[in-house]
Amino acid sequence: MKALMIQGTSSGAGKTLLVAALCRIFSDMGIDVAPFKSQNMSKFAYKGRGFEISQAQAVQALAARCEITPDLNPVLLKPLGEDLSAIYVGGRYRKKMRAKKYYKQTGSLLREISSAMSRLKKSHDLLVIEGAGSPAEINLQRYDIANMRIAKMAGASVLLVSDIERGGSFASLVGTMSLIETRYKSLVRGFVLNKFRGDPGILKPGIRKLYHITRVPVLGVMPMMRINLPEEDSLGARQGVWDGRHTPKIDREIDRLAQTARENLDMKKIEAMI
């Protein structure tokens, strides 16, 4: 089984929507694809028969046209305020836990994640994996169960995404590459600049210098676009459980997102990464 992983220089860089777009693109190509996110922190859940996973992975499954199962998101953290979260493992509620205690559990959670990934490998030809936060959070690298350790486990090439609307994208990409552990640097095969407004031609001098510094090519510049999909993040929003309704409308939005990605990403080079 092949795998491609989308990581970001920060939360909100656009990983979730890019995974959905790529899942639909690969599905349209006739590839049996599934999304995967080992650990997600979100107030928004999809409730299936006897399980809950992140809403984002359920939407990505619709994009991939695959079954929504607990394996798509083996660890879900629902924030409850301060540093307390409700922990769901394999789609089932386990316990409430504070961050310090949770980090001590990550080793055992890796076994759950590995098992979920193995089951997906048996039933799909391609996994498009979403990272969490940033792989350059050096204070948390020893507890990593969502970024580079998962890419290595899956044998995945990594696309690193940066939100250019916030400014500082070039510095974020260079900084992220400098802080990633040396053993993982070669996994990063391409960059994507996301949420750009205006003429992308103005970025060419920066893109050339970025390649000179990192030796990693920019494989696309995604424009800023409004996508009407269920909430993908917990920031500044109310908690909710999505039941999967309104699928036709979601499907149209995913198709629109996928078409924009086809037009703005170098899909031949991305296909070569897998």
- At a CB cut-off of 8 Å and minimum separation 6, what does 203 contact? 193, 196, 218, 221
2-15 pLDDT tens trace: 999 999 999 889 99
What's the confidence (pLDDT) of residue 40? 95
* Residue 85 and residue 96 in contact, taking contact as beta carbons nearer than 8 Å: yes
50-79 pLDDT tens trace: 999 999 999 999 999 999 999 999 999 999
What's the confidence (pLDDT) of residue 132? 94
* Measured CA distances, 270 to 15, 29, 99, 128, 131 (Å): 15, 14, 36, 12, 17
Whole-model pTM: value is: 0.92
What's the confidence (pLDDT) of residue 239? 47
Residue among 181, 122, 163, 149 at smallest CA distance from 38: 149
216-272 pLDDT tens trace: 999 999 999 888 787 554 433 444 555 555 467 888 899 999 999 999 999 999 999
The residue whose two tokens read 């309704």 is 245
Residue 225 structure tokens: 């676009």
Phi, psi dihedrals of residue 144, rounded to the nearest 5°: -65, 115
